[in-house]
Amino acid sequence: MSNRTFTMVKPDATGKGYTGAILDQIIKGGFSIKAMKWLKLTPEQAGAFYEVHKARPFYGELVEFMSSGPIVAAILEKENAVEDFRKLIGATNPAQAEEGTIRKNFAASIGENAVHGSDSDENAAIEGAFFFSRLERF
C-alpha cells in the first residue's frame, strides 16, 4: 500500500469551470497536493499516457478528448491513497457512480468523466513520473 496517487482534472471539467470545485472536494477528502500543473497535452502525449488502452475500441476517442483542452495533473498524498481516491471519484461511468462522488457531481459520460485516478500503486508511480520530474514533487 502506497500513500500517493496520481490524478488529472480532464478537459470536460476544466472547460466547464469545475477545476476549483473538484480540487476543493479532493482537499476536503483528506488529500494533500504534492505536485501540480496546468497544461494541454498533444495527441502524441495523450496517446503515450494511455498506451495501455491502445487496443481498446475507445482509444482514438480517448486520445482526441484528452488533448482537446487543458488539464490539471497532480500527485496526491493520503494514507491508502489509490483506493481512497477511487472511492472519492466514483465509478468510471458517472451513471454508476455513487451520490456525492466527484464523477457523480461533475461528469457527463464514461468518456468525458471529469477526473482520472490511478488504479494501482505501481501505475500511480508511473503516471506521476510521466508528468513530474523529481524536482517538481514535494
5: phi then psi, degrees, rounded to nearest 5 = -140, 175
- 12/1 Cα distance (integer angstroms): 31
Residue 71: name the closest of 33, 34, 112, 110 by CA. 112
Please indicate whether residue 53 is annotated as part of the active site.
no
| Residue 111 binds ligand CMP, judged by CB under 6 A | yes
8 Å CB contact between 50 and 63: yes
Single out the segment in contact with ligand CMP by CB under 6 A; choices: 21-29, 30-38, 56-64, 123-131.
Answer: 56-64
Residue 86 beta carbon to ligand CMP: minimum distance, rounded to whole angstroms: 9
Q: To which H or E segment does residue 115 belong?
A: strand 115-117
8 Å CB contact between 3 and 78: yes
Residue 24 beta carbon to ligand CMP: minimum distance, rounded to whole angstroms: 21
Query: Which residue lies nearer to ligand CMP by CB, 101 or 113?
Result: 113
Q: Which of 85, 116, 124, 128 is catalytic?
A: 116
In total, the chain counts a number of residues equal to 138
Using alpha carbons only, give the angle 104, 71, 91 rounded to the nearest 5 degrees: 25
For 9, the 3-state DSSP assignment is: strand
| Residue 69 binds ligand CMP, judged by CB under 6 A | no
Single out the segment in contact with ligand CMP by CB under 6 A; choices: 23-31, 96-104, 111-119, 122-130.
Answer: 111-119
Residue 8 beta carbon to ligand CMP: minimum distance, rounded to whole angstroms: 7
Residue 65 beta carbon to ligand CMP: minimum distance, rounded to whole angstroms: 8
Catalytic residue positions, numbered: 116
Contact residues toward ligand CMP (CB under 6 A) are 53, 58, 61-62, 92, 110-111, 113, 116
